[in-house]
Amino acid sequence: MSETPDVAIGAIAARSELRPRVGVVLGSGLGPFADAVAEPVEIPYGDIPGWPASTAVGHAGTLVLGRFGDVPVAVMKGRAHLYEGLSPADVVFGVRVLGGLGVRSLVLTNACGAIDTSVEPGTLVAISDHLNLQGSSPLVGPNDETVGPRFPDMTNAYDAGYRAIALQAAARLGLELGEGVYAAWLGPAFETPAEIRMMRALGADLVGMSTVPEVLAARHMGIRCLALSCVTNAAAGVRPEPIDHERVLEVGARAAGDLVALLREVVPLLD
């Protein structure tokens, strides 16, 4: 049985007096955003009781508490995924800890494949809704009513107001920012072309292996969410060539500058 987030919350509160209002979950290659946090207190995940170790390539494991402009923030450098073999509760452990520390707004970033054939690799997309195709939810099991309701509403899971802020910020920066529906896949294998056709028929524009468990846990706690995806590749079968993880990381690294610039513009506006 894993530890509850309470012990972790206490351990973090003992290392920093900062009470974060905005949380940021950084996907791979987006560490430079955390470098811009002022007066940072950096806590390796391994020092936090109960925090699951991430094994994904390109994912560091550090929680950074500090200020971004006037806003107290908690930045997760690296996240856990279901495909690592962790339980759904472990995958959202960090988000529950951030919620317990006082975070009311959460920005999630990820890399994804484009199911929509008109979306080019390197493009940024704000997620407008999701399809949970992972076959699990972190909310399964006994419900703690002090954390959130048994049957949380997911109508506005991806906050429309936050999305408008992100779209305006992108326009100010001269960055293209699309909007789309994200399908969450368990992985770790990339999808088959038939699975991608299924997702397209179901209404998905993007596909990835993260974010949805975290959004479910955050919404359960009443936290408002903004999710920004970096499209690293055309989804399986969209183009003739196979999907190569090295190439996914390469395109992600090239688009990381744009995503970090967008985060810097948006995070101070989310309170």
Burial 186-197 (b: 16+ CB within 10 A, else e): ebeebbeeebbb
**Contact (Cβ atoms closer than 8 angstroms) between residue 136 and residue 88:** yes
Among 74, 243, 259, 266, binds ligand HPA (CB under 6 A): 243
Per the annotation, the verdict on 28 as an active-site residue is yes
Helix, strand, coil percentages, rounded to 5, for the chain: 35, 25, 40
Among 94, 113, 178, 213, binds ligand HPA (CB under 6 A): 113
> Of 63-71, 147-155, 172-180, 231-239, which segment contacts ligand HPA by CB under 6 A?
231-239
Q: How far is the CB of 233 from ligand HPA (least distance, A)?
A: 5
Q: Is the peptide bond before 88 cis (omega within 30 degrees of 0)?
A: no
In this structure, how many other beta carbons lie within 10 angstroms of the beta carbon of residue 160? 9
Catalytic residue among 3, 39, 194, 245: 245
Cα–Cα distance, 15 to 10 (Å, whole number): 9
Pairing of strands 38-44, 71-77: unpaired
Per the annotation, the verdict on 54 as an active-site residue is no
- Binding flag, residue 162, ligand HPA (CB under 6 A): no
* Between 62 and 232, CB nearer to ligand HPA: 232
Catalytic residue among 74, 111, 217, 235: 111
- Binding flag, residue 208, ligand HPA (CB under 6 A): yes
Instruction: Say which residues have a Cβ less than 8 Å from residue 239's Cβ, sequence separation at least 6.
Output: none
CA 200, 202, 203, 205 torsion: positive or negative?
A: negative
Q: How far is the CB of 166 from ligand HPA (least distance, A)?
A: 20
> Of 53-61, 110-118, 197-205, 263-271, which segment contacts ligand HPA by CB under 6 A?
110-118
Burial class (CB in 10 A: 0-12, 13-18, 19+), 132: middle
- Binding flag, residue 185, ligand HPA (CB under 6 A): yes
**Contact (Cβ atoms closer than 8 angstroms) between residue 126 and residue 163:** yes
Per the annotation, the verdict on 154 as an active-site residue is no
Q: How far is the CB of 93 from ligand HPA (least distance, A)?
A: 21
Q: Give the DSSP letter of residue 224.
A: E
Per the annotation, the verdict on 81 as an active-site residue is yes
- Binding flag, residue 209, ligand HPA (CB under 6 A): yes
- Helix then strand count (H, E) for the chain reads 8, 9
Per the annotation, the verdict on 183 as an active-site residue is no
- Binding flag, residue 235, ligand HPA (CB under 6 A): yes
What stretches of 26-65 show up as alpha helix (H) in DSSP? 31-35
H/E element, 14 = helix 5-15
* Between 159 and 191, CB nearer to ligand HPA: 191
- Binding flag, residue 54, ligand HPA (CB under 6 A): no
> Of 22-30, 55-63, 107-115, 136-144, which segment contacts ligand HPA by CB under 6 A?
107-115
In the complex, the residues that contact ligand HPA under the rule CB under 6 A are 111-113, 185, 190-191, 207-209, 232-233, 235, 243, 248
Which residues carry out catalysis?
A: 28, 59, 81, 83-84, 111, 209-210, 233, 245
